Copies of this chain bind each other. A is one copy, B any other.
Amino acid sequence: MINSVGREIPDEVLQELTDSYGRKVEGFNGAYYRHNKTYKKAAPTVRGVVDPSEDKLLPSIKAALEKCEIKDGMTISFHHHFREGDYVVNMVMEEIHKMGIKNLTICASSLGKAHDPIVPMIEDGTITGIQSSGVRGKIGEAISNGKLKTTAIMRSHGGRVRAIEEGDVHIDIAFIGAPTCDSYGNMRAVGGKSDCGVLSYAMVDAQYADKVVAITDTLVPFPNQPASISQVDVDYVVVVDEIGNAAKIATGAAKPTKDLRNLMMANYCTQFVINTPYFKDGFSYQTGVGGPSIASTLYLGEIMRERGIKMGLGLGGIAGPMADLLKEGLIEKLVDTQDFDLTAIESVRNNPNHFEISGSEYANPMNKGAYVNRLDFVILAALEVDTHFNVNVVVGSDGVITGAQGGHPDTAAGAKCTIIISPLIRGRIPCVCSDVTTVTTPGETVDVVITDYGIAINPKRKDLIECMKDVKLPFCTIEELRDQAYAIVGEPEKVQFGDRVVGAIESRDGTIIDVVRQVKEYEFAD
């Protein structure tokens, strides 16, 4: 079928997912298509611990795998709060591999280069399914080269929670790396040797997995309160030497960019924001961690100071500049699902107005109302954006899976004003094009595209166009941006894909917005 963003979704793929999920999976049909739909939530099968003398501490990951009765065909899960410093995935997979277990599905909140070591386990059939926000590094290459037995599923952060809560995926065993944990399973993200700030994306795993194993390198006295994940959802606790590489989990505060192109785009963005009606005392805002986003936060801070306007809510993955604005009192409350640097981690540990929320609270489209629904602004990046305002953040222009949806489609769907900042050209690749390689965020949820060559407002946002009519910014159409990009670097030839679908890009609501096909060697046209 052809879905509502014009992408062909093969019926076999929809059928494969329908069989796997146990509900009819459809092609994408608009960002708000499933609004108001009711469904019965999924639920885990758990074991009651009535006997108070029972202990949860186990001597090793192997012992936990045995206690959890791991077997072929199970689905296991991980979180990615340790980012490129994560040791947990590899540590657990190594033990599983030694046990000779096959046919596992990994359901991770994200996978990155830190997990390159599991590629051989994809090749030998230990891992036959991958569900993740995205996959960077060698795992992405392996999937794009057709090495994974089943179709990889890429979901947004909100979409992953939805999939688990709706029962599309049932987690048999969740392995949750915890910076600190007590012997009865109460986990916190602050403290210890591998401080990651929050455990937001792992909360749904704890609530919906049959078995939950806490893995920590810092056992603390009971009770480890306030717990991010509670003992009542945890079966076993394992203490290991190190769950992560602290240096790669959190870097120092992000340095402001000095790149003039980035500063220019950041300035455009701030000028745009402050000329909308949403920029007023108490506004809500989310931004990414790229150079232009961070510069834009700094510019915005200056204007807030000048005009005495405070942000009511700062949301999302948090980096230093947002934490600094909170500290200064320019933000009332920061509500956090992921921390990108030491400043943010220190803030969530110490600032009483900086709060951890769950991934469901953040972005699940099928709960009773997520935080993204309350956003005025979100500032996002893109690998590619096209003349339909569709955005691609997962597949490189070479056709290889190399990025992650993250909260991109969630915040875009929720925010009143969704702004994409992207250079017009990256390397020799046009970032504004006629059709993105892969659609990951639908154009109907994207309001503005800011590039170093000009700014395009989505024509459906007549209200924003009206607001900007006297604003001195280089407005143009999205087609003009594309034409300019093509004029500079030429229109790139289409990536050549094979026939096999290797990945499904799932929209946050569980419909399929696009597929990723196996890459093939480039063949010159006759």
Task: Give A residues with C-beta under 8 Å from B.
Answer: 31-52, 54, 56, 184-185, 212, 221-223, 225-226, 230-235, 282, 312-313, 332-333, 335, 355, 357-358, 360-361, 364-375, 413-416, 509
A34 and B50 CA atoms in complex are apart in Å by 7
A235 and B234 CA atoms in complex are apart in Å by 29
A54 touches B232 (CB 8 A): no
B46 touches A223 (CB 8 A): no
B52 touches A48 (CB 8 A): no
Residue ID in chain B nearest A230 by CB atoms: B361
Contacts of A32 in B (CB 8 A): 50-51
A367 touches B38 (CB 8 A): no
A215 and B55 CA atoms in complex are apart in Å by 40
**Which of A185, A232, A235, A413: most chain B Cβ within 10 A?**
A232
A184 and B369 CA atoms in complex are apart in Å by 8
Which residue of B45, B56, B361 contacts A38 across the interface (Cβ within 8 Å)?
B45
Residue ID in chain B nearest A30 by CB atoms: B50
A37 touches B48 (CB 8 A): yes
Which residue of B37, B234, B360 contacts A232 across the interface (Cβ within 8 Å)?
B360
A48 touches B365 (CB 8 A): yes
Which residue of B212, B225, B364 contacts A333 across the interface (Cβ within 8 Å)?
B225
Residue ID in chain B nearest A354 by CB atoms: B225
A233 touches B47 (CB 8 A): no
Q: A50-B32, A185-B368, A365-B50 are in contact. Are A312 and B221 (CB under 8 A)?
A: yes
A243 and B303 CA atoms in complex are apart in Å by 42
A54 and B234 CA atoms in complex are apart in Å by 35
Which residue of B43, B335, B413 contacts A43 across the interface (Cβ within 8 Å)?
B43
**Which of A52, A184, A509: most chain B Cβ within 10 A?**
A52
Contacts of A222 in B (CB 8 A): 312-313, 374
Contacts of A33 in B (CB 8 A): 50
Contacts of A365 in B (CB 8 A): 48, 50
6 additional A-B residue pairs with CB within 8 Å, beyond A36-B47, A51-B373: A35-B50, A40-B45, A46-B366, A50-B366, A232-B368, A233-B367
A48 touches B44 (CB 8 A): no
A52 touches B368 (CB 8 A): no
CB<8 Å pairs between A and B, sample of 10: A48-B367, A52-B414, A52-B415, A56-B369, A185-B369, A212-B368, A223-B313, A223-B333, A230-B361, A232-B367
A243 and B479 CA atoms in complex are apart in Å by 57
B43 touches A223 (CB 8 A): no
Residue ID in chain B nearest A225 by CB atoms: B355
Contacts of A355 in B (CB 8 A): 223, 225-226
